Amino acid sequence: MRIGRSITPGIHARVVVLTADDAFEESVRAIFGASAQIGLDVIKGKLSQRDQVDVEGVAVVVADVDAGDQAELHALERIIARIGNWPPVVAVTQSFDTGMARRLMQMRVADFLVKPVSPVELVQTCARVAKAPAGSEATEAQIFTFLPAVGGAGVTTLAVQTAMLLLNSGARQKAATCLVDLDFQHGACADYLDIEPRLNLGEIEPRPERLDRQLLEVMLSHHASGLAVVATPNRPAEMRSFDPDVVTRLLDLVSTYFDFVVFDMPRTWFSWTDSVLLGSNKLFIVSEATVPGLRHAKQLVEAIRERLGEGPKPQVIINRFEQKLFSPGLRRADIEQAIGDTFAACVPNNYSLVREAIDRGVPLDEVKPGNKITTQLKRLVLPSGAAKPGKEIAGTGKKLRLSPARS
């Protein structure tokens, strides 16, 4: 989040403290309350009673968490996932052990302190984490887009799994990742993850300028894994397209606040489709191993090239691929030859695995660790070194442009 990044010592800064502990509240009021430069908001009560925190213009969030209470830890995880990249969160705990430290790090806390916290320690820690690391302003989201060549090829399945892989691609902590379901009419991301869709485009449309970080937060859904999801409730009988300005504003906002963004695209070409494709770092066309499937994939590659030039480089994934000896059907070599240099990979067919994951609302790896679908996807979406421990994907992303391409 950019808001608050410009805050430097000596200039007014807001600190939010979440605590249920009277003594801790008293001490932070004594520490920060006296300063003319710092605005302090103490939010009293358990973390689990709180769904989200208003972080507009906030430099640091200090979260006092009862580490012995699982519900409180879960609540902190949820709050941090909602806050995203900025502002940083400092956790304060009563007790401490290495398991707890690990857990807090995985949640992406900026630092943690153990009670009793001295005033100097708290002020120094907040000042340090409130300074954005050098170059962080330039770090932009990496965007992965999945586009269908035929109906039911598995775009949603592959988009959901890719988002999960990216979320867990950091060596030490989860990467801020958002899955955006742009299939407004037949979206299935929220169903596949068993979460409630919360995006209401109709509400934003009359006044797109209202769409800011805060409103985005209200319209995000959160999966237990920490994955953020933007999805609208399905209205199968409704035939409507949304103002491209609203859609592009939404996409721009999402790509500002997350490290990774994954788009699940509809088959229909809308006026905002060009902008999404042009802004993507990786663009996957998903098809199936049939003659029409290959033909459609090739036609789509060609159409993208004609429309958008050499900018977005589509790569074709043939999903639900099955190679049985002596059986009819297309072989991998046939597919490679037919598709040519835009061929990326064949993803194996495993219906029972995919169905179980969808029915339980969990990633494939949770149903069957090391399964072939995830392994293949990892090769496609994670750079070769990133799967090794100790390495993280470098944020070399290019930013999604806001300019709506009308057609």
List of residues contacting ligand ADP (CB under 6 A)? 148, 152-157, 188, 319-320, 347, 349-351, 354-355, 358, 373
Burial of 102 (0-12, 13-18, 19+ CB in 10 A): exposed
Report what 87 binds from ligand ADP, Mg ion, none; CB cut-off 5-8 Å by kind: none
Instruction: Return the range that interacts with Mg ion (CB under 5 A); candidates 5-13, 45-53, 76-84, 150-158.
Output: 150-158
CB closer to ligand ADP, 216 vs 358: 358
Report what 145 binds from ligand ADP, Mg ion, none; CB cut-off 5-8 Å by kind: none
CA distance 287 to 297: 6
CB of 234 to ligand ADP, least distance (A): 13
CB of 357 to ligand ADP, least distance (A): 8
How would you classify residue 404: left for phi > 0, otherwise alpha for psi between -120 and 50, otherwise beta? beta
Strand 228-230 and strand 221-222: the pairing is: antiparallel
Report what 349 binds from Mg ion, ligand ADP, none; CB cut-off 5-8 Å by kind: ligand ADP
Indicate whether 157 belongs to the interface with Mg ion (CB under 5 A).
no
**Residue 385 CB coordination number (10 Å):** 11
CB of 265 to ligand ADP, least distance (A): 9
Report what 347 binds from ligand ADP, Mg ion, none; CB cut-off 5-8 Å by kind: ligand ADP
CB of 143 to ligand ADP, least distance (A): 18
CB of 242 to ligand ADP, least distance (A): 20
CB of 190 to ligand ADP, least distance (A): 12
**Residue 35 CB coordination number (10 Å):** 13
Looking at beta carbons, which residue is closest to Mg ion? 156
Output Rg (C-alpha) for the chain, integer angstroms: 23
Structural tokens at position 288 = 């199936």
Report what 78 binds from ligand ADP, Mg ion, none; CB cut-off 5-8 Å by kind: none
Instruction: List the one residue from 93, 156, 177, 280 that touches Mg ion (CB under 5 A).
Output: 156
Please report how many Cα atoms fall inside a 13 Å half-sphere around the Cα of residue 214, on the Cβ side. 9
Q: Which residue has the tokens 């009419």?
A: 185
CA distance 400 to 248: 9
Report what 319 binds from ligand ADP, Mg ion, none; CB cut-off 5-8 Å by kind: ligand ADP
Residues 41 to 100 in contact with Mg ion, rule: CB under 5 A: none
The four Cα atoms 196, 198, 202, 204 give a dihedral, to 10 degrees, of 180
Q: 91 near 112, Cβ under 8 Å?
A: yes
169: Cβ–Cβ under 8 A, 6 or more apart, which residues?
175, 260, 382, 386, 392, 393
CB of 186 to ligand ADP, least distance (A): 7
* Site track for Mg ion across 164-193, x = CB under 5 A: ------------------------x-----
Q: Name the site residues for Mg ion (rule: CB under 5 A).
A: 155-156, 188
